[in-house]
Structure 1
Amino acid sequence: MTHLEVRPLERYQLVWYLFAIINGIGFGLLLPSFADGLAQLTWPLLALLLYSTFTQIPLQSLRSAMLDRRFLMLAVCGNFVIVPALVFALLKLVPAEPAVQLGVLLVLLVPCTDWFITFSHLGKGDSRYALAFAPISLILQICLLPVYLWLFVPETFAAAVVQKQMLLAFAGLIVLPLCLAYFTRTVVDRYSSSPSLMDRLAVWQVPLLAIVMFIISASQVSLILDSGALLLQLLPVFVLFALLALLLAAMLGYLGRLPVLQWRVLAFSFSSRNSFVVLPLALALPAGYEMTVVTIVFQSLVELFLMALFVWLVPHLFFKRTN
């Protein structure tokens, strides 16, 4: 496991995303027809974004990542057993609109594999464990997300949304970039002693996501403005989820007698979600499910504010060693 260096773009990514969303809304109001044309760029930009992100996840290190089995067992159990049960319970607080509920399920069921590493580092956790858990988390969530949707979504609803376009988006914008990223890392690790290519790809994550948020805000501006009251109803749900995730990290860290630096990694892993990995699936939904996309983008924005708070809060909450 390697040491993480936090780049300036990552440290101030919240500012970039806010800037992108605000300017996207303004652009969509001033030039709505041009904003609709920009929406066609969303797919290639998402493919590049996910490829860039996946290259930073050390899939080749899966074997060595299994060394600390106690931490990994708690991380897997928390993220893929307890958190889904928590999401299902919180769904009762979500407005009974299918597109919104689907957005909440998509975004809260899958743990983050990218910026949670950065925030674990900024929050004085041991980022080596975050890096080790990332590839395991990514593989498990890709395999388990269909299972969760099958469990939590009514059969008739699932038949309406899981169509050819959604399956193509999953294959083309998640599986294909993941395979290309694995190939890239394999080639670079084998034939190059310089990490410069990986560094260049990593730098593109924040600007690419900012551009995607700009385009979505511009093309969905009317829906965003009309849904203000609905989004305000979702705000306490997303905040409550993050706070309960912190409580879950505290409980599992205590029961598992983890070192404090690992407690902190659990806290950021449980409370941060993989919003833009599920975004292609939401964008591929049939007409009438635009609120699913808006819900996912809104959750990611709320989460970024909370992560900025947790960077200060988590070191103060988890400060005693348990072994």
Structure 2
Amino acid sequence: MTRDILERRQVWVYVAAIAAGVAVGASVPQAAPLFEALLWPCLAFLLFVTFTQVPLVALPAALRDARFMTVVLIGNFVLLPLLVAALLPLLPDDPAVRLGVLLVLLVPCTDWFITFTHQAGGDTRRAIAVTPVVLIVQILLLPLYLWVFMGEGLGDVVSVPTMMAVFLLVIALPLAAAYATERWVARGAGREVLVWRLGWLPVPLLALVLFFIGASQVEAVEAALPLVGDVSAVFVLFFIGAVLLGIAGGRVFRLPVAEMRTLVFSFATRNSFVVLPLALALPAEWAAAAVVIVLQSVVELLGVLVLLWLVPRILSFHTLN
């Protein structure tokens, strides 16, 4: 199996992993603490591997591409949060569900977005260049967005010391290690093969993370099942809206076809597994937030399968000329 085939079929791998995890967790509920303990180092390693695929050393190049960078930042951090605000009233009146939706929809993707852009014939070079900027901006803005949408009551739920510890150990440390790895690779001939080999790992590692979540959070998964329909509908509406905003933004800024395709995937894909550790660190009664984030990733991947077929047809050189 090639890496391309693995990535194209990843959604089915993830669904199978979640189902297997729930089945195992329901069969041996006493093993839930063990699965939860294994989840954290696996998640940290997943983020390290994922961050190695983000060209952090390409940051200066991204800042020179002002037009494309402008539309990416305006869309992801102004227009899409407004879309999220418009969709919030459609959600169940459950604070944990709403927090999970906010966490996942307010952060643009920085990993498989590049892969999907390449598969759809987008501008992969620009996708690679803007990714580190998008990652940094979302880390800075996410606390502000959560405060705006959830209000001061969020402080009664979120333990700042716990969240800071999770951020440092599971997000910041893997990010720093990935940057150090990229610098090491850049200083020696032949070392780039390490990054290429690590690129095989995100799919199986993510499947393992989802298995551990299913096995350790059976009660949360079962409790969230009645909400799946309503929440999934919001995720579908967000996906459609993001795609339409991507097309509109590309036309307004008169982007070339390849850049428009890149913009569509930047808007439509979210950074679900970067915010997942933050959801998992919430109190037990807020466990639905993590389940919602996993659900979003499944809905998104199914949508991307359609988008990979659709985008080259609706955003072609023939139709825009």
Does the 8 A contact of 1:27 with 1:35 survive in 2?
Answer: no
1:76 aligns with 2:73: yes
Aligned to 1:275: 272
> Where does residue 217 of structure 1 map in the other structure?
214
**Structure 2 Cα separation of the partners of residues 15 and 307 of structure 1:** 13
1:51–1:177 CA contact under 8 A, matched in 2: yes
How do 1:258-273 residues align onto structure 2 when only pairs under 5 Å count?
A: 258-273=255-270
Asked whether 1:165 is paired with 2:197, we answer no
Q: Identify which range, 8-17 or 38-47, moves more after superposition.
A: 8-17
Cα deviation code 1:5-29 (max 9, x no counterpart): 9633222211211121121121122
Of 95, 100, 103, 2:92 maps to 95
CA distance in 1 between partners of 2:162 and 2:191 (Å): 39
Local SS of the residue matching 1:74: helix
1:151-300 superposed matches below 5 A: 151-300=148-297
What fraction of aligned residue pairs are identical, expressed as a percent? Answer: 49
Compute the displacement of 1:37 (Å). 1.7
Pairwise CA distance, 1:200: 1.9
- TM-score, structure 1 length as denominator? 0.95
Q: Which moved more, 1:189-198 or 1:165-174?
A: 189-198
Matches within 5 A, 1:96-111: 96-111=93-108
Q: Deviations over 1:33-63 (max 9, x none)?
A: 2244211111101110111111111111111
Equivalent residue for 1:131, pick from 128, 133, 140: 128
Q: Match for 1:313 among 278, 300, 310?
A: 310
Whether 2:56 is the aligned partner of 1:54: answer no
**How far 1:125 sits from its partner (Å)?**
1.3
Structure 1 CA distance for aligned equivalents of residues 78 and 320 of structure 2? 24
Q: Is the 8 A contact 2:243 2:268 kept in 1?
A: yes
Structure-1 separation of matches of 2:108 and 2:187: 30
Question: How far has the Cα of 1:163 moved from its partner?
Answer: 2.9
Distance across 2 between alignment mates of 1:215 and 1:23: 9
In the TM superposition, residue 174 of structure 1 has moved relative to its aligned partner by: 1.0
* 2:40 pairs with 1:17: no
Unaligned 5+ segments in structure 2 are none
Alignment length, in residue pairs?
319
Backbone CA RMSD of aligned residues = 1.6
Which amino acid in 2 is paired with 1:256? F
Distance 2:143 2:58 in 1: 25
User: Offset at 1:322?
Assistant: 5.0
Query: What's the counterpart of residue 112 of structure 1?
Result: 109
Superposition pairs of residues 11-50 of structure 1, within 5 angstroms: 11-50=8-47
Deviation at 1:318, TM superposition (A): 1.5
Query: How far apart, in 2, do the equivalents of 1:138 and 1:61 lie?
Result: 13
TM-score, reference length from structure 2: 0.95
